[in-house]
Amino acid sequence: MADIRVGILGIGSMGRHHVRNVRATEGLELVAVADPGGDRFGVAGDLEVLEDVEALIGAGIDAAIVAVPTAFHEEAALALAEAGVHTLVEKPLAIDVAAGERVASAFGRAGLVGAVGYVERCNPALLDMRRRIADGQLGAIHQIVTRRQSPFPARISDVGVVKDLATHDIDLTAWVSGSTYEQVYGQTAYRSGRAHEDMLVASGRLRNGVLVNHLVNWLTPYKDRTTIVTGEHGALVADTAMGDLTFFENGQMPVQWDQIAAFRGVSEGTVTRYALVKREPIAVELEHFRDAILGVGSDQVTMTEGVATLRVVEAVLESARTGEVVHL
């Protein structure tokens, strides 16, 4: 079977990594790239850098990756759907829920694969974490906490930390837990002089009763990418920057210190850091996209899921604006 002909719209900070990985993925052939800003990272090689999505479509592509700023996602995705092109749109799916719904509906009506680039779902630590939770290693889940903190990325200009960063945590929390958000309460801050928020503290509850907390900012002088899931048998801690997963097991030895023994909680037990096969998450994501197009897999993040995440994102921002808990 011939390789899937792929075009990439946007070859900047994120798109350049898609260029490299499409070229390395079996069953995919990179045939066109487009970016009105040109090829500032020098990744196009012998391909002409086209001007826009229409030129990309004109190259005769079967599938596309949209890696332009969020404000342009809807226009590009709708054009690709109309042209019958399977598409992976970088997260978030669109600038707001209404736009996301229009995009998802267009791909649904056309019978095309529409995917969203929530690459954290392909992180080796989170893939293994989700498998272990599903296998019952933690027992009942009590709480999920995420931290996503780092310096300000120069690549971002059109959204704040909620739509750029927290959207990852909202998506992965629902995915890891197998549940959806019931309510959220968010607080944001504007500390860097930009028009968009650069700090977020959000808390909430999932429909299965799990408590969640998200700490996100662009004002930390180091990179912190941590997901902690606590259950009745212990806690799994994923460092997604390094792809590491550690299990902190509840202790089995009786406590002999009376003041502590009187507290009906847990004690420290065995700590296990797992050896994982660490593949680049974008490579795994592209394989999922390819397999969905071929009809042999369904591990891609669907546009319907992307819209659901946007609803929670907007609820967080609404809560921050009003100071009230928002029920979904």
Domains detected in the chain: 4-119+282-300 (3.40.50.720), 121-278+310-327 (3.30.360.10)
- Please tell me the predicted confidence (pLDDT) of residue 283: 98
Tell me the pLDDT tens digit for each residue of 141-187.
Answer: 999 999 999 998 776 667 899 999 999 999 999 999 999 999 999 99
Q: Which residues contact 241 (CB under 8 A, 6 or more apart)?
A: 223, 224, 225
User: If phi over 0 gives left and psi between -120 and 50 gives alpha, with beta otherwise, what is residue 143?
Assistant: beta
Strand pairing report for 224-231 and 141-149:
antiparallel
- Please tell me the predicted confidence (pLDDT) of residue 254: 62
- Please tell me the predicted confidence (pLDDT) of residue 110: 98
Taking 70 as the pLDDT cut, the residues of the chain under it are 155-157, 253-265
Distance linking the first and last C-alpha atoms of the chain: 45
Q: Which amino acid is at 14?
A: M
Tell me the pLDDT tens digit for each residue of 42-57.
Answer: 999 999 999 999 999 9
CA distances from 27 to 80, 86, 142, 291 (A): 21, 15, 41, 9
For 60, phi and psi rounded to 5 degrees? 80, 50
pTM for this prediction:
0.93
User: How does DSSP assign 6-61, residue by residue?
Assistant: EEEE--STTHHHHHHHHHHSTTEEEEEEE-TT--TT---TTS-EESSHHHHHHTT-
Sheet containing strand 63-66, edge to edge, reads 49-50, 28-34, 4-9, 63-66, 86-90, 114-117
Q: Which amino acid is at 154?
A: A
- Please tell me the predicted confidence (pLDDT) of residue 256: 60
